Amino acid sequence: MITSSSNARVKQVVQWRNKARERREAGIFLTEGLKLYREAPEDRVREVYLTENAVERLKEDGALWKKLQRTGYETVTEEIFRKMSDTDAPQGILCVIRRQEYTLDQILDAPAPLLVVLENLQDPGNLGTILRTGEGAGITGVIIGKETVDIYNPKAVRATMGSIFRVPFVCTDDLKGALETVRSHGVKTYAAHLSGRDLYEEGSFCAGTAFLIGNEAKGLSAEVTALADGLLRIPMEGKVESLNAAVAAALLVYEARRQRQASRG
């Protein structure tokens, strides 16, 4: 059992928790909680840390206990776990997971791709929710611009509720270049925009489609907006001026899902 906060592995986990660059250079990210451990592919689990109470709880779950025997684990005291944890009410299990890398070509290889493109999102909860909602709607990938919050931010990872293991995504330093590649594959791009003339229900999204979602406060930049084939408006009543980015993305991808299912009869 690890009992000292000066332990090298504890210090390393704390660094990974706090610094995106450290996580990126190590090719890993952190997860907390039983659900994310349950859904993590075994071959990507690098390290597991448990409190003694968590060990006793997991012994009562046959499938998880067997998984732990295969992945291995290290026990730590409750006090040390709180130092390692990013949550206010930790469940006593923290994992170091190897990243899965995707390419833009892989994302575009799907028939009639359904993509979400994100520019400068700052809320990790929004980012994680978009992955989770996108999986539910059947998206084939997410393209993330460099100014967007780190997808491996612990809060973003938790908000995905496991979708981070299943939804392909690409982080790019050249969002405009990525969009040009997307368009060269015949994928139509639509920006969620307050200046949109067309209501989002009026678009046709059965062919390859990419929805562009911008910053929570400022929306999409003029440069990225200019690469959209169309600007879509979500109607709003009352004094509401705009919607949460994750809510807007959800409306768009589920409209695409509705249309695609209807076209299949």
**Residue 88, domain extent:** 8-98
Both tokens assigned to 252: 């768009």
Domain boundary among 65, 98, 131: 98
**pLDDT given for residue 166 in this prediction:** 97
Q: Contact 181/104 with Cβ under 8 angstroms?
A: yes
Q: Is residue 197 part of a domain?
A: yes
Q: Contact 207/112 with Cβ under 8 angstroms?
A: yes
Q: How far apart are CA 51 and CA 137, in angstroms?
A: 36
Residues 75 and 116 in one domain: no
Residues 235 and 110 in one domain: yes
The per-residue pLDDT for range 220-251, each reduced to its tens digit, is: 999 999 999 999 988 888 877 777 999 999 99
pTM summary value: 0.92
Residues 50 and 138 in one domain: no
Q: Is residue 92 part of a domain?
A: yes
Say yes or no to pLDDT of 265 above 90.
Answer: no
Residues 109 and 91 in one domain: no
Q: Is residue 3 part of a domain?
A: no
Q: The domain spanning residue 171 has which CATH number?
A: 3.40.1280.10
Question: Could you tell me which residues are beta bridge partners of residue 192?
Answer: 232
Residues 62 and 125 in one domain: no
- HEC profile for 211-261? EEECECCCECCHHHHCCCCEEEECCCCCCCCCCCHHHHHHHHHHHHHHHHH
Name which of 181, 193, 185, 184 is nearest 226 in CA terms.
193
Buried b (16+ CB within 10 A) or exposed e, 182-213: bbeeebbbbbbbeebeeebeebebeebbbbbb
Residues 125 and 66 in one domain: no
How many domains in the chain?
2
Q: Is residue 35 part of a domain?
A: yes
Question: Could you tell me which residues are beta bridge partners of residue 212?
Answer: 117, 191
Residues 246 and 143 in one domain: yes
Q: The domain spanning residue 19 has which CATH number?
A: 3.30.1330.30
**pLDDT given for residue 194 in this prediction:** 79
Q: Is residue 154 part of a domain?
A: yes
The per-residue pLDDT for range 38-83, each reduced to its tens digit, is: 999 999 999 999 999 999 999 999 999 999 999 999 999 999 999 9
Domain boundary among 79, 98, 117: 98
Residues 94 and 108 in one domain: no
How many Å from the N-terminal Cα to the C-terminal Cα in the chain?
Answer: 58
**pLDDT given for residue 228 in this prediction:** 96
The per-residue pLDDT for range 110-162, each reduced to its tens digit, is: 999 999 999 999 999 999 999 999 999 999 999 999 999 999 999 999 999 99
The per-residue pLDDT for range 76-124, each reduced to its tens digit, is: 999 999 999 998 888 999 999 999 999 999 999 999 999 999 999 999 9
Residues 230 and 128 in one domain: yes
Residues 126 and 218 in one domain: yes
3-class DSSP state of 202: helix
Residues 72 and 143 in one domain: no
Q: Is residue 27 part of a domain?
A: yes
